[in-house]
Amino acid sequence: MNIKQLPVAFTMIAAAALAGCSTSEREHQIAYASVTDAGYTLPAIPQAKIPPQYKRQIVDYHTSETPGTVIVDTANKFLYYVMPGGKAMRYGIGVGKEGFDWSGTARVAMKREWPIWTPPAPMIKRRPELAEFRGGMQPGLQNPLGPRALYLYKGGNDTGYRLHGTPEWWSIGKAMSSGCIRLLNQDIIDLYNRVDVGAKVIVK
């Protein structure tokens, strides 16, 4: 499947969900199929091994926040993209392990496709083997940020936290990253296409 086909495929899934239908295994196979993007081929995600609640789906979600807001529920490992009509697109996430988590309200200051990853100095101190990437790790299938990253700023300052993809699909639903919010690679592409620069992000 070409990356340009993803919005069309998931529009069909979204329509079914809004009509009150559950997202079928076949629809998830389409959503999590292998895709080629910017010359990189993202492997298919073995969606049958992903717990059903962590698969991308439209859910009822009532909030006073305006559509376009992103709400991250770290306790339950969900990210919600608020939609009109009391709905939200819900994604499963992996969150920061104890001691590296973060909460608060921020804004999406930048969006990057196939971003460069630069490990922060404290991470390099903890893991000296990352020193070779002090100047930045080039984009690619092994890059920890995956195919997309949304950069969170607060008060004009970089929080150091990102919404990003991950090739480690088995980490979704767990607390094991160094603080950032990770999504399945196919999910971060979907979220990236929905979220605007300047969007409000609430992490709680």
Q: pLDDT tens digits for 60-77? A: 999 999 999 999 999 999
For residue 25, what pLDDT is reported?
A: 80
For residue 13, what pLDDT is reported?
A: 47
| Token code pair at residue 88 | 């939200």
For residue 23, what pLDDT is reported?
A: 60
Does the pLDDT at position 47 exceed 70? yes
Residue matched to tokens 């903890």: 126
For residue 85, what pLDDT is reported?
A: 97
- The listed range with the strongest mean pLDDT (118-122, 166-170, 173-177) is 166-170
* Residue 21 is among the residues annotated as catalytic for this protein: no
The domain segmentation of the chain, as residue ranges, is 3-203
Phi and psi torsions of 111, nearest 5° = -130, 135
For residue 153, the tally of other CB atoms under 10 A from its CB is 17
The CATH class for the domain spanning 3-203 reads mainly beta
* Residue 28 is among the residues annotated as catalytic for this protein: no
Q: pLDDT tens digits for 89-137? A: 999 999 987 656 778 999 999 999 999 988 778 887 888 888 888 888 8
Does the pLDDT at position 79 exceed 80? yes
pTM for the structure as a whole: 0.85
Does the pLDDT at position 59 exceed 80? yes
**169 or 135: which leads in pLDDT:** 169
Q: pLDDT tens digits for 1-36? A: 444 445 444 444 444 444 444 567 888 889 999 999
- Mean pLDDT to the nearest integer, 164-182: 90
Range 112-123 burial, b when 16+ CB lie within 10 A, else e: bebbebebeeee
Catalytic residue among 21, 28, 62, 164: 164
Torsion over CA of 87, 45, 115 and 126, rounded to 10 degrees? 100
| Token code pair at residue 134 | 């002090």
